[in-house]
């Protein structure tokens, strides 16, 4: 199944501020994410506690993308960052 991806303004700002090499890797991982068969590889997971309405997937060992489901086949990408990115939502 394919997922439609929407980019929230804060996500786009974070992407544009990221180093060029990381930008390319993020875009590559988003392309993989669009096909739900790749979600295991990306370690897509639901967050817990006060972040329980959000999900994330790994870009690399350090960085992740936080997103929310808008419908069964649509997501909004919210933020990019290391583990500290979760503090944006508290």
Q: How confident is the model at residue 1 (pLDDT cuts 50, 70, 90)?
A: confident
Domain positions in the chain = 4-89
Residues 81 and 14: beta-carbon distance below 8 Å: yes
Give the β-pairing of 55-58 and 45-46: antiparallel
Residues 30 and 65: beta-carbon distance below 8 Å: yes
CATH class of 4-89: alpha beta
Q: How confident is the model at residue 59 (pLDDT cuts 50, 70, 90)?
A: very high
Span 42-53, average pLDDT = 95
End-to-end CA distance of the chain: 31
Residues 38 and 54: beta-carbon distance below 8 Å: no
Give the model's pLDDT for residue 23.
Answer: 96
Q: How confident is the model at residue 46 (pLDDT cuts 50, 70, 90)?
A: very high
**At residue 80, does pLDDT exceed 80?**
yes
């Amino acid at each position: 199944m394919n997922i439609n991806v929407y980019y929230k303004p804060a996500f786009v700002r974070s992407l544009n501020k990221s180093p060029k090499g990381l930008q390319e890797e993020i875009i590559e991982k988003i392309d993989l994410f669009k096909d739900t068969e790749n979600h295991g590889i990306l370690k897509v997971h639901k967050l817990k506690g006060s972040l329980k309405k959000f999900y994330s997937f790994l870009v690399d060992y350090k960085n992740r993308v936080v997103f929310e489901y808008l419908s069964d086949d649509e997501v909004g990408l919210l933020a990019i960052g290391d583990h500290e990115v979760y503090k944006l939502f508290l």
